[in-house]
């Protein structure tokens, strides 16, 4: 089963598609049917980090004992991971659905494919945004399908209603419900054109939380009317666009379920609201069950798996101990705690997804998509240029003088996977300025290094501090306190150009900076757009999309 043979054009409605001969699963026992409801991770970006290839033998051993329904890919490469997926498909007794977080494109999990800026950057394109979102999703779909991936966990259909939300922020398309709905629907349509299955997340909306569900159980305490008008709008649009999957949020919504159950475990939210009121007929998948928002209140994974399925979930994502959870599920069916009819319903929905994913196979991408990588890179740079804005330049320091000395610091508190290329900012500055002292800092640099950089900064003619503030799992939102204080000291002593490679809220502690620039993302294209902006070409000067 080669990776090209897995590619398909997704065109039929999930509920209308029959199970085809090539996707029909062999006769399975109850235990195997329960295993088909599980998606486990291949590779990891959590400590201890491991590539997909390093994780292959573990998954191969698991498949012999537990025929899971699919894998969620992390930390892969474009040259090795397709073969890894192909080998695992051959080992599996039933076709594996391969899913991945591809919010910023295939390069997010298949390095070094290009990355596009975070979703909020698209909003800068105005009337062109929907078309750009659709084209991005189509290109990402074609590239990912050719590598053996069937599902992208996107669009992020959350409305960024709380600007200090620690996990959504720039991952959302907009803080305005209609705009978020328009672009979420465009993403779904682009995925369909690219042959990949979309999964709208995080139902019924994670944008108004003050906590990250990776390490807490957030609560959205607004009225049902507010939820209807704001949070649910993008999900309605995604359902109308025939999104085949919806991912749940590990978040409480008292107005929807007064019992306090997070959406993942709430029958009122999944079965009554999502299916009953909104009419969604596709498959429902949990967010990662490794998250604290899911684990809180449960003694083990078996208990949370039973609760999720009873609430109406069809697919269990990211179980750490699938065999132990399988034992618990099988025991619960035997005791009557998990109805057999509910298992059958979930299993049929998974089967329908596989019918879509493995039918109408095409031998290769169309000729005009063979340059999908180059086209993605060009689109990424166009978006980055339009999104990069100057919020403040009271002293008229821009454009910088390339013949004068520059001290530049890139602060990135996020650990970089071993297979991720180095950030290009230093090289880009070196190509354009005659004299550059460039430094990169992690989240906890030694005090002696900060002192040495400060000496260089005070001696330079021009001073740039670029820093990454973005939503990311298990990371605190914003700059670490020590680095924030250090940057504030620099801003008080010298005219500082502060550039946030991420959310504009990251600039709030640096009100004393002479210049404030926001790129809405830290991807390579956004770093290039920042350098161009320093030289006088910001978003309003970018060329229109051809």
Q: What is the pLDDT of residues 304-325, one digit of tens each?
A: 999 999 999 999 999 999 999 9
Match 């892969």 to its residue by tokens: 76
Does any domain span residue 430?
Answer: yes
CATH number, residue 455: 3.40.50.1700
Between the alpha carbon of residue 295 and those of residues 209, 213, 244, 476, the distances in Å are 18, 10, 26, 20
Among residues 330, 363, 396, which one ends one of the domains? 363
Same domain as 439, residue 336? no
Same domain as 349, residue 204? yes
What does the buried/exposed string (b/e) look like for 237-267 if buried means 16 or more CB atoms within 10 Å of the residue's CB? bbbebbbbbbbbbbbbbeebbeeebbbbbbe
467: pLDDT strictly greater than 70: yes
Spatial distance between the Cα atoms of 84 and 104, rounded to a whole number of angstroms: 22
Q: What is the pLDDT of residues 70-123, one digit of tens each?
A: 999 999 999 999 999 999 999 999 999 999 999 999 999 999 999 999 999 999
Does any domain span residue 546?
Answer: no
Same domain as 406, residue 260? no
Same domain as 169, residue 111? yes
The two structure tokens encoding residue 543:
């060329």
Non-local (6+) Cβ contacts of 285 within 8 A are 39, 199, 245, 246, 247, 248, 313, 314, 315, 316, 317
Same domain as 350, residue 304? yes
Q: What is the pLDDT of residues 488-503, one digit of tens each?
A: 999 999 999 999 999 9
Non-local (6+) Cβ contacts of 407 within 8 A are 436, 437, 439, 453, 456, 457, 459, 460, 462, 463, 464
Same domain as 279, residue 190? yes
Same domain as 254, residue 155? yes
- Residue 368: the pLDDT is 52
243: pLDDT strictly greater than 70: yes
Non-local (6+) Cβ contacts of 405 within 8 A are 435, 436, 437, 459, 460, 461, 462
Same domain as 428, residue 301? no
**Residue 88 CB-density burial (10 A; 0-12 exposed, 13-18 middle, 19+ buried):** buried
- Residue 263: the pLDDT is 96
Domain containing 308: what range? 4-363
Non-local (6+) Cβ contacts of 111 within 8 A are 76, 77, 78, 417, 419, 420, 421
Residue 11 confidence class, pLDDT cut points 50, 70, 90: very low
Region 221-234 average pLDDT? 96
**Residue 361 CB-density burial (10 A; 0-12 exposed, 13-18 middle, 19+ buried):** middle
Measured between its terminal Cα atoms, the distance across the chain in Å is 38
- Residue 478: the pLDDT is 82
The two structure tokens encoding residue 375:
């086209």
Does any domain span residue 368?
Answer: no
Coil, helix or strand for 41? strand
Q: What is the pLDDT of residues 32-76, one digit of tens each?
A: 999 999 999 999 988 788 999 999 999 999 999 999 999 999 999
Does any domain span residue 217?
Answer: yes
Q: Which residue among the candidates 101, 123, 287, 318 is catalytic per the annotation?
A: 287
Region 187-206 average pLDDT? 96
Same domain as 358, residue 214? yes
- Residue 62: the pLDDT is 97
- Rounded to the nearest integer, the mean pLDDT of the chain is 90
Does any domain span residue 241?
Answer: yes
Does any domain span residue 44?
Answer: yes
Among residues 330, 348, 363, which one ends one of the domains? 363
Judge if the upstream peptide bond of residue 475 is cis by omega within 30 degrees of 0. no
Q: What is the pLDDT of residues 118-161, one digit of tens each?
A: 999 999 999 999 999 999 999 999 999 999 999 999 999 999 99
Residue of higher predicted confidence among 169 and 25: 169
The two structure tokens encoding residue 249:
């949020």
Residue of higher predicted confidence among 28 and 199: 199
187: pLDDT strictly greater than 70: yes
Domain count, the chain: 2
Lowest mean pLDDT among 137-151, 176-190, 512-526, 527-541: 527-541
- Residue 369: the pLDDT is 60
Same domain as 323, residue 179? yes
Radius of gyration of the chain (CA): 24
CA 69 to chain centre: 21
What's the per-residue H, E or C state across 486-517? Answer: HHHHHHHHCCCEEEECCCHHHHHHHCCCCEEE
Does any domain span residue 379?
Answer: no
- Residue 26: the pLDDT is 57
Same domain as 415, residue 342? no
CATH number, residue 272: 3.20.20.300
Active site residue 11: no
Region 348-353 average pLDDT? 96
Q: Which residue among the candidates 150, 206, 214, 250 is catalytic per the annotation?
A: 214
**Which strands form 245-248's sheet, in the order they lie side by side?**
283-285, 245-248, 197-203, 151-152, 97-100, 70-73, 38-42, 316-317
CA 366 to chain centre: 27
Same domain as 98, residue 238? yes
Does any domain span residue 58?
Answer: yes
């Amino acid at each position: 089963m080669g990776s090209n043979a897995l590619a398909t054009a997704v065109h039929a409605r999930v509920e209308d598609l029959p199970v085809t001969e090539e996707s029909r699963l062999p006769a399975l026992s109850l235990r195997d049917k329960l295993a088909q409801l599980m998606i486990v991770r291949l590779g990891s970006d959590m400590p201890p980090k491991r590539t997909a290839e390093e994780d292959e033998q573990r998954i191969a051993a698991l498949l012999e004992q537990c025929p899971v329904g699919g894998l969620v890919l992390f930390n892969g490469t474009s040259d090795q991971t397709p073969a890894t997926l192909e080998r695992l498909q051959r080992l599996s007794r039933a076709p594996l659905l391969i899913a991945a977080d591809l919010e910023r494109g295939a390069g997010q999990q298949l390095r070094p494919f290009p990355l596009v800026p975070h979703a909020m950057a698209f909003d800068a394109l105005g009337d062109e945004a929907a078309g750009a979102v659709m084209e991005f999703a189509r290109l990402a779909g074609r590239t990912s399908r050719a590598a053996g991936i069937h599902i992208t966990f996107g669009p992020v259909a959350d409305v960024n209603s709380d600007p200090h939300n620690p996990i959504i922020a720039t991952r959302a398309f907009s803080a305005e419900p209609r705009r978020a709905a328009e672009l979420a629907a465009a993403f779904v349509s682009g995925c369909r054109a690219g042959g990949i299955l979309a999964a709208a997340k995080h139902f019924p909306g994670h944008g108004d939380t003050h906590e990250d569900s990776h390490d807490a159980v957030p609560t959205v305490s607004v009225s049902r009317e507010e939820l209807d008008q704001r949070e649910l709008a993008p999900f309605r649009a995604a359902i109308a666009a025939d999104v085949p999957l919806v991912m749940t949020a590990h978040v409480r919504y008292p107005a929807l379920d007064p019992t306090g159950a997070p959406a993942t475990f709430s029958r009122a939210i999944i079965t009554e609201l999502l299916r009953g009121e909104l009419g969604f007929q596709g498959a429902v998948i949990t967010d990662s069950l490794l998250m604290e928002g899911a684990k809180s209140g449960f003694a083990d994974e078996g208990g949370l798996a039973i609760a999720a399925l009873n609430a109406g979930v069809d697919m269990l994502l990211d179980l750490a101990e699938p065999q132990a959870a399988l034992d618990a599920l099988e025991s619960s069916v035997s005791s009557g705690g998990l109805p057999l009819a509910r298992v059958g319903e979930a299993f049929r929905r998974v089967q329908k997804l596989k019918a879509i994913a493995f039918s109408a196979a095409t031998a290769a991408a169309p000729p005009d998509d063979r340059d999908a990588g180059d086209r993605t890179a060009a689109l990424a740079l166009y978006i980055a240029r339009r999104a990069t804005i100057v919020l403040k330049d009271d002293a008229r320091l821009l454009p910088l003088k390339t013949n004068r000395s520059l001290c530049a610091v890139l602060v990135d508190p996020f650990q970089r996977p071993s297979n991720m290329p180095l950030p290009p900012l230093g090289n880009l500055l070196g190509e354009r300025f005659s004299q550059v002292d460039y430094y990169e800092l992690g989240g906890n640099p030694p005090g002696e290094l900060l002192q040495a950089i400060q000496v260089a900064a005070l001696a330079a003619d021009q001073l740039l501090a670029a820093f990454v503030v973005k939503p990311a799992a298990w990371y605190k939102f914003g700059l670490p306190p020590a680095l924030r204080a250090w940057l504030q000291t620099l801003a008080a002593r010298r005219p500082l150009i502060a550039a946030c490679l991420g959310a504009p809220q990251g600039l709030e502690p640096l009100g004393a900076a002479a210049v404030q620039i926001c790129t809405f993302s830290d991807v390579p294209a956004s770093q290039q757009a920042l350098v161009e902006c320093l030289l006088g070409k910001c978003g309003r000067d970018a060329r229109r999309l051809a």
